[in-house]
Structure 1
Amino acid sequence: MSSDINYLIACIENSYYYFAMLGSDIHTRASAQGKHMMRTTGHLPPTGRRMTGCLAADGLAPGSRSSAAFVLRASMNARPPSKRSRSPTSRLPPASRTCRKPACRTARQACRCHISRQEDPLMKLAFAQFAPIHGDTAATIDLVAAKAREASAEGARFIAFPECFLTGGSFENREALLAASVDVERGDLAPIIDVSRQTGILVVVGFYQTRGPQALNTAALIGPDGIIGLHHKMHLPFMIGDRFVDIPESSGPSVFETPIGKVGLAICYEIRFPEVARTLALHGAELVVLPAAWPEAARILPDIFSRVRASENFVYFLSSNRNDLDDGMQFMGSSHLIGPDGVELVNAGMADGIFTVDVDLAKARVKSIIRDPGVYEVHPFRDRRPQDYGICGTTP
């Protein structure tokens, strides 16, 4: 399944047709078992499913106006995702405490044992999906602090919120955007930092930021000791508030060491640039977090791009999106967490709430696929040839 999605997204990213990617010398090739076959009519994966026809550069089958995800599923006759993986209520039972020490379980206040890496490989990650308090940055900051505390009470060690969640994303001019922006140096994020300090939970949240004369689209990673790191959106689409913000100076990949592992940050539109997620993975990110504000027109991003970014980089990929209506723009929800194998672990649909799932980040440190040692091994990271990719850094 992941290989077929990779073919599809390559067409979309690079604006060409599926069979063109295979080249003019298209031939039939068979594996030792005779189960792999590639023809001009499509690709036959090991499971025996076939992607019929070629896909156009926008991911749609010729003559079809259906979404690319629908075309892919229908043409492959793939089994639909399980109810558990798509259900907005796919939540694991809440845990009262992550620490197993008897003394900590009986204490009246939360312990801080969980701030260091725990021996149990599983940890609970969370994301939030609901509406902010429109037009009131301070009130939304307090709301995020309260929701982070709630997630911690359910045993979560990490929670992510959407892009520009604290400030809103729709503005008609730069002055209005700056008036609503967060000033980090002024201490505007103090309520969230206080909750993290008290509970140990890590928080990622997006907002427009004012920094001197600059306006920036920012995602903050907050921990018990304060702000661990800030990511400033470098790829800016010409729409809503991003029309009025500045492109930041490059300060290197936004990968940060945390008590749960290495977390990489990107924002919304940056999912369309494969170099962004790959750079984060090359710098050790085990969990890539992408706060988003995707309208329904961007359905292809959570349906396909998220899976590919996770599977091609062998990382957990978490995207928290909005599901409300803001200045006439309806956001589509579908916040989700994808595993390193490209499998969707939880999807919020359009529901409000805090959604949690247990993960083992150690799985994101394995960058190879070994089916049969010495016979069938794939090492996508080891087999990279960056010396041959120079053209990627040039403008045609």
Structure 2
Amino acid sequence: MSQTTITVVADEFGRDLEAAYATIDRIVTEARARGTDLLVLPEACLGGYLPSLGSVDDDEETRARRRRNMPPAFRVDGPEVARVRALAGDMTVLFGMCEAAADELDADGRVVRYNTAVAVTGDGVLAAHRKVHQPLGENLSYSAASAFEAFDSPVGRIGMLICYDKAFPEASRTLALDGAEIIAALSAWPTARTAAADRIEDDRWKKRFDLYDAARALDNQVVWAASNQTGTFGSLRFVGNAKIVGPGGDVRAETGVEGGLATVTLDVHAELAAVRQGMYALRDRRPGAYRLDAVLPNYPSEREPVHA
């Protein structure tokens, strides 16, 4: 039996890069003491997330202020990522950042930015995933990617998602069909924008976060590793609650809303084989019955404002 130790993280990361590296160093040290093979840090570790998501109805002054408050952008092959690699050593470490795309400019001549998750070891960069699905006004700050691909790592085949990506069954299903045994969902998942609960534990967006984690693990019968930010940044308050979910949809360990590290040791191949020996969702699909190209009704949205 081959055992893999997975640690997921809920912690606070802002604009201060040196503080971020200190936090990552502290977390890596604790994770290594636990025998961790795979460490999943949150979305936007390096440089923090957006202070607000924005709206298509924002005036130019608001848009200009958002541009001034954007997180710093780094290249995947740059020195900022190399510092995380040096901390990772023989551990596989996943983390989020704002990526400055090499050789891509937008219509205004600015470097294109992506919300990106990076997988590294001390030996190099294993993979990078650019966020595909953009909630609310996130498209006003980042470009969207258009692909999901699993990759091989020292701990097996992994797929990465970023935050809102996990709300779409097609995303995790694509990774599972690409052979992902572990799917890591890195988030900066906040509380609800309206009618927020006094206690984070009661927040409706926190409940969605937890439901998606359990459902996507069970949908695809994979090991699910979800990280998240904690604390507050700008107008956002994050729900924490990083967790590891087994391929049967059962939560094996979680941090709670206050954050911390959650660790599980398991035989990934044995776990997948046990749950897939009966009803096996990937095998029992009927792709010809699914209308994946169906056109949706024209519901109101932030991207296409409806005027009375």
Class of the TM-score when normalised by the shorter of the 2 chains = 0.7 to 0.9
Corresponding residue to 1:324 among 228, 231, 241: 231
Alignment of 1:308 onto 2:211 = no
The alpha-carbon deviation at position 300 of structure 1 amounts to 2.7
Structure 1, unmatched stretches of 5+, are: 1-119, 371-376
Task: Quote the residue 1:245 is aligned against.
Answer: 142
Deviation at 1:223, TM superposition (A): 1.4
Residue by residue over 1:181-205, the C-alpha shift from the partner in whole angstroms, topping out at 9 and shown as x without a partner, is 22323321112111223xx111110
Match of 2:149 in 1: 254
Query: Which among 119, 133, 140 is matched to residue 221 of structure 1?
Result: 119
1 CA distance for matches of 2:30 and 2:141?
A: 34
Deviation at 1:367, TM superposition (A): 8.0
C-alpha change, 1:331 and 1:123, in structure 2 (3 Å) is same
Match of residue 191 from structure 1 = 83
Q: Call closer, same or farther: CA 1:150–1:306 in 2, change over 3 Å.
A: same
Are the equivalent residues in 1 in contact too, given 2:39–2:91 (CA < 8 A)?
yes
**Aligned-partner SS, 1:393:** coil
Are 2:163 and 1:268 equivalent residues in the alignment?
Answer: yes
* Structure 2: runs of 5+ lacking an equivalent: 52-64, 103-110, 193-204, 297-308
Call closer, same or farther: CA 1:321–1:187 in 2, change over 3 Å. same
Relative distance call for 1:169 and 1:313 in structure 2 (3 A) is same
The separation in 2 between residues aligned to 1:142 and 1:325, in whole angstroms, is 19
Of structures 1 and 2, the one scoring higher in RCO (CA 8 A, sep 6+) is 2
The worse-fitting range, judged by mean Cα deviation, of 292-301 and 332-341 is 292-301
**Paired position in structure 1 for 2:7:** 126
1:258 positional shift:
0.8
* Residue pair 2:48, 2:97 contacting (<8 A) in 1 also: yes
What is the CA–CA distance in structure 2 between the aligned matches of 1:227 and 1:329, rounded to whole Å? 30
Contact 1:145–1:191 (CA under 8 A) maintained in structure 2: no
Contact 1:216 1:233 (C-alpha < 8 Å) held by counterparts: yes
Name the SS of the counterpart of 2:80 in structure 1.
Answer: coil
Find the counterpart in structure 1 of residue 288 from structure 2. 387
Structure 1 pair 364–284 and aligned structure 2 pair: CA distance change class (3 A): farther
Deviation at 1:359, TM superposition (A): 1.7
* 2:186 corresponds to which of 291, 297, 301: 291
Alignment correspondent of 2:249: 342
1:210 aligns with 2:100: yes
Runs ≥4 residues deviating over 6 A: none
Aligned residue number for residue 199 of structure 2? none
Query: What is the rounded CA distance, in whole Å, between the counterparts of 1:285 and 1:139 in structure 2?
Result: 33
* Residues 367, 379 of structure 1: 8 Å contact kept: no
Question: Quick one: structure 1 residues 145 and 333, their matched pair in 2 at CA, closer, same or farther if it must change by over 3 Å?
Answer: same
Query: Contact between 1:137 and 1:167, CA under 8 Å: does it hold in 2?
Result: yes
SS of the equivalent of 1:383 reads coil
Structure (1 or 2) with the greater strand fraction: 2
Question: 1:353 deviation in Å?
Answer: 2.4
Give the whole-Å Cα distance in 2 for the aligned partners of 1:215 and 1:296.
25
TM-score (norm 2): 0.79
Secondary structure class of the residue paired with 2:208: helix
> What is the distance in 1 between the residues matched to 2:74 and 2:22?
13
* Greater alpha carbon shift after TM alignment, 147-156 vs 306-315: 147-156
For residue 388 of structure 1, report the CA deviation from its aligned partner: 2.3
What is the distance in 2 between the residues matched to 1:279 and 1:170? 28
1:191 alignment partner AA: R
